[in-house]
Amino acid sequence: MDRASSIAPTLWAGHELVWGQRTYVMGIVNVTPDSFSGDGLRACELAEESLVERAVEKARRFVAEGATFLDIGGESTRPGAEAISAEQEAGRVVPVIRALRDSLPASTIISIDTYKAAVAEQALDAGADMINDIWGLRYDPAMATLAHERRVPVVVMANMRGYQKREIVSDVIHMLARSIEQAVTAGIPWEHLIIDPGIGFGMTVEEDLILQRRLGELRVLGRPILLGTSRKSHIGRILGGLPAAERLEGTAATVALGIAHGADIVRVHDVREMMRVVKMSDAIVRGYSAQP
């Protein structure tokens, strides 16, 4: 089933993403002390050099396991997390991105997970290939200009924190449409936009589930869909209060059903396991072809 054949490939700087033929996997590399999922590398109180080495080791493993993207984040986005300055955030992610760019194949796509243009600019200078903005270009007006000037793709997310919701699916579509309009107005090419419904960002458990069940309705926006459900709190609550580290099977269910409902990219903490889920789901949903 070639559901996304109407979406043109995304091409830039030697990279090509062909939509509809397969689901891409984005591996999460958190360089934070307080990640909700417990995987933040700085939680280990490592020296700076050791921290970078550990991030590179993790990233290499993710690429070997099948990740196309690596998403590098230096600030926790969990509810109640303390905001940090752009200088502090850049100080966390830039050395890691520079080391990854020097260590990984050129085909590996490095994404900077930030909503601050100053951080994104330094990350792109260090070798990042794209931007993942959890505020959908709305927090920092300079972000859209930066993405346009650097000619890089950007993931725009629907963030419902502080938003007066009425009906979750239409609210998310409306918010994403606003981000798309802002991006296009700033000169970002249509083909460079990826949308993310923002599972867990300002939503109730029931709203998270509704949005996942009706994910395919986001196709009306005409852009590839990134789904980030990995280890999210609604999985823990549904499974009886499981901590983040024990949400693997629940995550697998959301990934499989997400692909069935239209996801083009899945953002995950556990690349090896989720790559297996992706391959099996793609064989069912998109059609089987023998691959290594």
Tell me the pLDDT tens digit for each residue of 8-22: 999 999 999 999 999
Contact by Cβ (8 Å): 207, 170:
no
Q: Quote the percentage of the chain above a pLDDT of 70.
A: 92
Phi, psi of 142 (to 5 degrees): -70, -15
Domains of the chain (ranges, CATH numbers) = 10-282 (3.20.20.20)
150 is catalytic: no
If you search the block for the tokens 């969990």, which residue do you land on?
78
Question: Is pLDDT above 60 for 46?
Answer: no
The tokens of 23 are what?
């689901």
Average pLDDT over residues 27-45: 65
Q: Annotated catalytic residue: which of 58, 116, 223, 267?
A: 267
Cα first-last separation, the chain: 21
The tokens of 212 are what?
């996942």
For residue 202, name the pLDDT band (cuts at 50, 70, 90): very high
The reported pLDDT for the residue numbered 271 is 98
Q: Annotated catalytic residue: which of 232, 272, 279, 286?
A: 232
Residue-wise over 54-71: b if at least 16 C-beta within 10 A, else e?
Answer: bbbebbbebbebbbbbbb
The type of residue at 41 is L
Tell me the pLDDT tens digit for each residue of 238-270: 999 999 999 999 999 999 999 999 999 999 999
Contact by Cβ (8 Å): 201, 134:
yes
The tokens of 269 are what?
């903490």
Tell me the pLDDT tens digit for each residue of 80-112: 778 899 999 999 999 999 999 999 999 999 999
Tell me the pLDDT tens digit for each residue of 139-187: 999 999 999 999 999 999 999 999 999 999 999 999 999 999 999 999 9
The reported pLDDT for the residue numbered 1 is 41
165 is catalytic: no
DSSP state of 182: H
More confident residue, 10 or 2: 10
Residue 70 region by backbone torsions, left for phi larger than 0, else alpha for psi between -120 and 50, else beta: beta
What are the strands, taking DSSP E only, across the chain?
10-12, 15-17, 24-30, 69-73, 109-113, 130-133, 154-157, 193-196, 226-227, 265-268
